[in-house]
Amino acid sequence: MSFFSVTKLAPTLVAPSEPTPSGNLPLSFMDQLPASRFLVDSIHVFGHGQEPGMVIKAALSKALVPYYPVAGRLAMSDQGELEVACTRDGVWFVEASVDRSLKDLNHLELPLAVPKEELLPYLSPEVEKDLIVMMQVTQFSCGGFVVGMRSSHAMFDGLGAAQFVRAIADIAKGLAQPMIRPIWCREAIPSPPPKLPSLRPPPPSLTAHPFVTFLLDISLDRINETKSKFTKETGKYCSKFDILTAKVWQSRARAIGLKPGADVRLGFAANARHLMHQLLPPKGGYYGNCAYPMTITAPSEKITDSSLFEVINLIREAKESLGSRFAKWLVGDPEGDPFRVPVDYGLLCFSDWSRVGFYEVDYGWGQPIHVGPLDDNSFIASCILLNPPAPKQGVRLITRCVVEEQLGAFQDQMANLV
């Protein structure tokens, strides 16, 4: 790695540009889950910008008027529940610069060739746990810039975080208000009845694994070819998500070689906003957590020995069952809490960042070259679906799901989609 050092200006707290309501706001059941109490780190790389730090900072201040809870702090209520104190304390914001071009650093493609601490703002853990958003805008000598963002999952899911960032971009481009009007409406998100055991269980005990990062670009031609073959053989439609999720899950199951009978699980978040159309305003704007955790469990041999199309069908069936699963959960499904999934080496979590809205962000100088989460967790095997850096077409997968001695087998399995 060549020498790389960012010059960071003194951090500031960006408050709303106008007076905003005070008081405390309750978070929803989904917001308060222990699994949501962390900061999501991501970078958003843009090819050109004129004084982007100043422009984004000013737009952020205006966006925090309709998004005033984001300028507050996470707090605990008298009942011991997580809530938002609307304090107007502001978003932690850092402007930075570096005497290098994006090209010198491979346009900061993932996995990063530089420490992520250079591109993200950091505070002490005691302070960070209460902050909702932190941002750093780093300008490069070529005119490009990077927005490093740390956002609380207790405030946003992926769609909500992207909606907030797009609001900043709308104002940066000269709009008086964001194109999408934000709504709080956390009270509309149902809580399951108390008969479910341990509604807010403590986080599970986690075991660290030395996962290695593997990046793979897949062309749209390969994906479309698989779609066509699936339709011809089964008479059904499958999506890009179905194909890639099935392929990664099966490839990993074969690579890790669990004993027959051992469970392998696939987990992914399904947007449930459409299931609550009678509870949430029809024009959208809800930016809280509204994702239902879908989990598929099967004996390892069922996944390793089946055809790819059979695994795709498992995923399609799970997606089609979202409505019924969600309805059962709302009335207290006796089979258990879907938010409590055993976390062991047999679990793979798949996330789709390609459609949440980050790629449509434009501060006035064009959409990002690429976007990516800076996920280096060593506890849960993961795969993230991204768009490849512009102007490439297709999809990009970033996996952290196998250890070094299993990587070769995993790569071999991923080499062919069918």
- Asked whether the predicted pLDDT for residue 197 surpasses 50, the reply is no
Q: How far apart are the C-alpha atoms of 228 and 226, rounded to whole Å?
A: 5
Residue 202's pLDDT is 56
Residue 204's pLDDT is 58
Residue 114's pLDDT is 86
* Per-residue pLDDT band at 110 (split at 50, 70, 90): confident
* Per-residue pLDDT band at 205 (split at 50, 70, 90): low
Nearest to 43 by CA among 189, 145, 190, 164: 145
Long-range pairs for 48-52: beta carbons < 8 A, 24 or more residues apart: 48/143, 48/144, 48/365, 48/366, 49/139, 49/143, 49/144, 49/145, 49/363, 49/364, 49/365, 50/143, 50/365, 51/139, 52/137, 52/139, 52/145, 52/147, 52/363, 52/365
pTM of the model: 0.93
335-356: pLDDT as tens digits: 677 888 888 999 999 999 999 9
- Is the distance from CB of 205 to CB of 344 less than 8 angstroms? no
The number of helices, as runs of H, and strands, as runs of E, in the chain is 10, 16
Residue 300's pLDDT is 97
Residue 1's pLDDT is 46
- Asked whether the predicted pLDDT for residue 22 surpasses 50, the reply is yes
* Cα angle, residue 350 at apex, residues 129 and 167 outer, rounded to 5°: 55
Domains of the chain from N-terminus onward: 7-188 (3.30.559.10), 211-414 (3.30.559.10)
Report the SS3 class of residue 44: strand
- Asked whether the predicted pLDDT for residue 121 surpasses 60, the reply is yes
| Lowest-pLDDT choice from 52-61, 193-202, 367-376 | 193-202
Q: Specify the residue for token string 């399995």.
A: 413
Residue 196's pLDDT is 46
Q: Strand pairing partners for 296?
A: 266
129-147: pLDDT as tens digits: 899 999 999 999 999 999 9
Residues labelled catalytic:
153, 362
- Asked whether the predicted pLDDT for residue 334 surpasses 80, the reply is no
235-289: pLDDT as tens digits: 999 999 999 999 999 999 999 999 999 999 999 999 999 998 888 888 889 999 9
37-68: pLDDT as tens digits: 899 999 999 999 999 999 999 999 999 999 99
Tell me the average pLDDT across 206-220: 93
* Cα angle, residue 132 at apex, residues 128 and 137 outer, rounded to 5°: 85
85-97: pLDDT as tens digits: 999 999 999 999 9
- Is the distance from CB of 105 to CB of 122 less than 8 angstroms? no
